[in-house]
Amino acid sequence: MAKLRIVVVGAGQVSRELAPAWQRTGHDILHVVSRTAESAQPLGELLGCSWSTNLSEAAGALRDAEVVVIAVTDGLISEISTAITNMISPSCLMVHVSGATPLDHLRAPCAVIWPIRSFNPKADKVPLANTPTVLEASEEKSMVLARLLASAWDADVSEVSGTQRAAAHMAAAVADNFANHMFAEAQNLLDQRGLPKTLLRNLVLGLTQGGLQGDSRERQTGPARRGDEATLARHRALLPEDVRELYDTVTAHIIHRHSS
Ligand SMILES: NC(=O)c1ccc[n+]([C@@H]2O[C@H](COP(=O)([O-])OP(=O)(O)OC[C@H]3O[C@@H](n4cnc5c(N)ncnc54)[C@H](OP(=O)(O)O)[C@@H]3O)[C@@H](O)[C@H]2O)c1
């Protein structure tokens, strides 16, 4: 397997998992550059490479890099791409790891490697291995390198167009962000009545199975699915006003989806 010389820009939640995975599979992390020493230093020390807090200090490593991974807040990707374009070799592959940011925010040759997973301090038990990962590249040569980088976590890879990636990101927001929000609201409702917030924990198993097998629609249950008006009315009477509108909107949507 080809060994790549990589510079990582941004030492946040995603870099802290992906950079060690690349190192474990034999790639050479030359340097980590981030906004502050609080994030750059621990990652640099973990990887045993140099680190810095500004691009000019990273100049030597950037010049040598075959791949630069820009893993910063989405709104800064384009700015960093522009700032480093003249610091890297013309053949150096620029990568970002954002689901939502267009590929043309990078200069070519470039690729997106978007692992569809939530990276946050509470997600440390979710394995990186086999994570479904979306790849998009400016041309085949870049796609070859993107595949190689994603193989560091044996990614379950989908190679997509920009439009498909935007749709996948939208779907991920509906599934993960909305489902999590619903659980947060439900836990709040339980808490307000003095009930344990973990009371619904086994319901997660069914949700997970639907997510894993792609058959969530067939698993829908509940009063909206059954058209049970009496139970819906009892729920509405119990709901705090700021959740009632959400309940009504989702209920109407479930009824509509399952009416045909
Ligand atoms: N988190 C997720 O669940 C997830 C999942 C898939 C993809 N992504 C994508 O991964 C990328 C990074 O997200 P993240 O969650 O890792 O973000 P994050 O934890 O907020 O980390 C961003 C890092 O960028 C650094 N940074 C900010 N401005 C910088 C600059 N001008 N120069 C160099 N470094 C700078 C920050 O430094 P300081 O730490 O010093 O502030 C921080 O270490 C984003 O494109 C995001 O869309 C995130």
Tell me what pLDDT residue 260 has: 72
Task: Write out residues in the chain with pLDDT < 70, as ranges.
Answer: 1
Instruction: Give the distance (Å) from ligand 1 centre to CA of residue 102.
Output: 16
Is 10 a pocket residue for ligand 1 (Cβ < 6 Å)?
Answer: yes
Ligand 1 test: best mutation among 73, 76, 79, 117, most atoms within 8 Å of CB? 73
Burial of 134 (0-12, 13-18, 19+ CB in 10 A): buried
Edge-to-edge strands, sheet with 156-159? 50-52, 28-33, 5-9, 67-70, 93-96, 110-115, 132-137, 156-159
Q: Which CATH number fits domain 5-160: 3.40.190.100, 1.50.10.20, 3.40.50.720, 1.25.10.10?
A: 3.40.50.720
User: Residue 248 has which token pair?
Assistant: 């009504």
CA atoms of 249 and 260, how far apart (whole Å): 18
Tell me what pLDDT residue 1 has: 61
CA distances from 116 to 16, 143, 169, 205 (A): 16, 18, 8, 20
By the 8 A CB rule, do 220 and 258 touch?
yes
CA atoms of 21 and 16, how far apart (whole Å): 9
Q: Which class is 167-257 in CATH?
A: mainly alpha
Residue nearest to atom 41 of ligand 1 (CA): 35
**Percent of the chain with pLDDT strictly greater than 90:** 94
pLDDT tens digits, one per residue of 133-185: 999 999 999 999 999 999 999 999 999 999 999 999 999 999 999 999 999 99
How far does CA 69 lie from the centroid of its chain?
15
Rg from Cα positions in the chain? 22
All structural domains of the chain with their residue ranges: 5-160, 167-257
Tell me what pLDDT residue 110 has: 98
Number of residues that make up the chain:
260
By the 8 A CB rule, do 172 and 99 touch?
yes
CA atoms of 38 and 11, how far apart (whole Å): 9
Instruction: Give the distance (Å) from ligand 1 centre to CA of residue 118.
Output: 13
Is 53 a pocket residue for ligand 1 (Cβ < 6 Å)?
Answer: no
Instruction: Give the distance (Å) from ligand 1 centre to CA of residue 138.
Output: 23
Ligand 1 test: best mutation among 14, 51, 110, most atoms within 8 Å of CB? 14
Ligand 1 test: best mutation among 16, 32, 34, most atoms within 8 Å of CB? 34
Instruction: Give the distance (Å) from ligand 1 centre to CA of residue 99.
Output: 13
The residues, any chain, with a CB within 8 Å of residue 248's CB and separated by 6 or more, are: 236
- What are the beta bridge partners of residue 33? 9, 52
Instruction: Give the distance (Å) from ligand 1 centre to CA of residue 2.
Output: 27
Residue nearest to atom 8 of ligand 1 (CA): 98
Closest atom of ligand 1 to 77 CA is 45
